Structure 1
Amino acid sequence: MRFLSGPHVEEAREALSRELPDLEIRSLRLGEQGWDNHTFVLNEDRIVRFAKDESFQARQERWVLRALPEFLPLDIPRLEWVGESILFTVYRRLPGVRLAEAWQSFDLWQREEAIDRLVEFLATIHSTLDLAEAKAHGVSLEDARYDFVRASMGSEGKWWEAARPAIRRIDALSHAPKVLHNDFHGENILIDPATHRVTGVIDFGDVAYGDPCIDLNYLCEFDLGMADRIARRYEAAGGEPVDPQRILDLYFLQTLDEYLDPDSPEIERIGFHRMLDEYVARFGLH
């Protein structure tokens, strides 16, 4: 299997022409780049993702996108083509803007509606996707160990005073594993800018299985006060009962782990620092 040498439009155009000789390429430009793929916009109505290396879970993503039912609470990418000699995937482009860019313009009602729709979506995929089938297609465990946090547990300061009881709580309790989106942050959620309604979810390349609260904790990125609502709505939408404290613990530990990750870009570490301080100021040591 070959890979692109980088985010190069002409190289991508040549690869697409070789793999899909009947495809009309009217335009091709760079899209927003991912951690493990080079992204291009094809003819303004399709997204093409070329894997950077073997770490891109193409097989697993293909499985989950095909396994999900046709009718879901929100739109998802639908696979159209998959490369053979060079690893790429082509999907129809979903309309909308990223929720992360629009959240601050939402009023309270719009925020609550957005959270409710996202929780319903997660409850649907968690209850729909078969765990045994996922494992058979190479989907791996997301064990939420937060190794960077655990390696630094001797550190001092308010973050660590909050991290120690959070680690004890998540180690003492678990929920039945589900197939997870596993990257459910605001950059992967689309909204209609005219109505402020959530419309779609993208990027299933990190699909894994594990505690459903791993997916749910991403929603605390928008409002830390939503954990109780998230837990209630998840159960009402057909999900198994979950502990709102666990959602908060996983949010805090995941944020701290990403802050400690030496590969995290500095601009993102600044955001993580703010999120950690907000969490400790709001909830104290509990």
Structure 2
Amino acid sequence: MADSPVGEHPLTEPDVRSLLRTAAPELEHLPLRLVAEGWDNAIWRLGADLAVRIPRRAVAAPLVRHEQRALAVLGPWLTEHGILSPVPTVHGAPTRSFPWHWSVVPWIAGERPLGRPREANGVWAPDLAVALHAIHRPAPIDAPPNPFRGNPLRTRDDVMQERLGLTPEMRALREAWDAGLAAPLAEERVWIHGDVHPGNILVRDTRLAALIDFGDVTAGDPAYDLAAQWLLFDSAGRAAFRGAAGDRYDDATWTRARGWAAYLTLVFLTQSDDRAEYREIGVSTAAELALSTA
């Protein structure tokens, strides 16, 4: 959202090739170029069909391990429904020159729906409902932990109240949050993606192609993922999303999801800084929450 922090272990092309030599020497000589540096990871395109995903900061290093473990389970569930995910094909280990785990993953073609009109997203809203339903299966007790995602709303109430105090004119956000707090707690603990928003979705030929960036994958309340319907769709798209979800989720789950949408709205509004496309998610989601209750 803000400018990416400086990488703690910046890597050059020869450095990345050296890592490949240790874990997958058959890939070392493929064409290689840096294509993205986010807050947590650098992405290097490797040949035509692969990418190298490498942590940039110590705080992000455990997330690669979470992805490696969880996607081995979740990836096949998504594939059953024709939806791709970056299941690692190589699990890179730390070396003397680089201290963290890293991955080689498939390169998945598609476009992120950042900045697209909400009405254009509705065509693949049912695909997203199917994808999340595929993920939301009972999770083991030792699923990757996450201190923020999928927990009861009350665990973020102090932060939310502070942010609501800075935006008192956004009454709909407070109403959505208060309703979410009052809703019954989740009765199930399922796998969740933990970061479903327009930047972590790939669309191709009017269909959902892939869910990406599983660094925040964890177990908890599926409502956290379902908040994405307000981040992505207009009322017609949300209706299509809810219709495809069927009776999988009860009314309390949808109410908690709307509360989480209000929370994420303020995250995008207050922490996007110079990333206009992310701030716009907050602006448009605030408008959607003000217009409807479902």
TM-score interval, normalised by the smaller of the two chains:
0.7 to 0.9
* Residue 133 (structure 2) aligned to one of 104, 118, 123: 123
Q: What TM-score comes out, normalization by structure 1 length?
A: 0.80
Secondary structure class of the residue paired with 2:44: strand
Tell me, yes or no, if the aligned pair for 1:234 and 1:240 is still in contact at 8 Å.
yes
- Residue equivalent to 1:158: 169
User: CA offset at residue 114 of structure 1?
Assistant: 0.3
Q: Is the 8 A contact 1:81 1:90 kept in 2?
A: yes
Alignment of 1:11-90 (within 5 A): 11-56=15-60, 57-68=63-74, 70=76, 71-73=79-81, 74-85=83-94, 86=98, 87-90=101-104
Shift of 1:155: 4.1
Which residue of structure 2 aligns with residue 257 of structure 1?
267
Write out aligned runs for 1:89-238 (5 A): 89-100=103-114, 103-104=116-117, 111-127=121-137, 130-132=138-140, 135-141=141-147, 142=149, 143=151, 144=153, 145=156, 147-155=158-166, 157-159=168-170, 161-173=171-183, 174-175=185-186, 176-192=188-204, 195-225=205-235, 226-236=237-247
Structure-2 change in CA distance of 1:30 and 1:146 (3 Å): farther
For the aligned residue pairs, the C-alpha RMSD in angstroms reads: 2.9
Q: Which residue of 2 aligns with 1:279?
A: 288
Instruction: Give the 3 Å change call, closer, same or farther, for CA 270–63 of structure 1 in structure 2.
Output: closer
Note closer, same or farther for the CA distance 1:220–1:165 as it changes in structure 2 (3 Å cut).
Answer: closer
Q: SS of the residue aligned with 2:130?
A: helix
Q: How many residues align?
A: 268
1:65 to partner: Cα distance: 0.8
5+ residue gaps, structure 2, are 1-6
For 2:55 and 2:89, the matched residues in 1 are separated by: 16
The change in CA–CA distance for 1:13 and 1:24 in structure 2 (over 3 A counts) is closer
Relative distance call for 1:221 and 1:183 in structure 2 (3 A) is: same
How far, CA to CA, are the matches of 2:207 and 2:93 in structure 1? 37
Matching residue within 10, 13, 16 for 2:14:
10
Structure 1: which 5+ residue stretches go unaligned? none
> Displacement, 1:59?
2.1
Q: Is the Cα–Cα contact under 8 Å of residues 119 and 234 in structure 2 kept in the other structure?
A: no
So what's the TM-score if we normalise by structure 2?
A: 0.78
C-alpha change, 1:155 and 1:88, in structure 2 (3 Å) is closer
Provide the C-alpha distance between the structure 2 equivalents of 1:77 and 1:156, rounded to a whole number of angstroms.
Answer: 37
Cα distance, 1:211 vs structure 2: 1.9
Q: Please give the alpha-carbon distance, in whole angstroms, between the structure 2 residues aligned to 1:148 and 1:233.
A: 33
Structure 1 residue 246 displacement after superposition: 3.5
CA–CA separation in structure 1 for the residues paired with 2:289 and 2:133: 28
1:61/1:190 Cα in 2 relative to 1: closer, same or farther (>3 Å)?
same
Question: C-alpha displacement at 1:172, in angstroms?
Answer: 1.6
**Whole-angstrom distance in 2 between the partners of 1:163 and 1:76:** 32
After TM superposition, give the deviation of residue 137 of structure 1 in Å.
4.2
Q: Secondary structure at the match of 1:29?
A: strand
CA distance in structure 2 between the partners assigned to 1:220 and 1:234 by the alignment: 15
When residues 99 and 277 of structure 1 are mapped into structure 2, their CA distance, relative to the original with a 3 A threshold, is closer
Change (3 A) 1:209 1:186: same
Identity %: 22
Residues 280, 191 of structure 1: CA spacing in aligned structure 2 closer, same or farther, 3 A cutoff? closer
Q: Which amino acid aligns with 1:148?
A: V
TM superposition shift of 1:273: 5.2
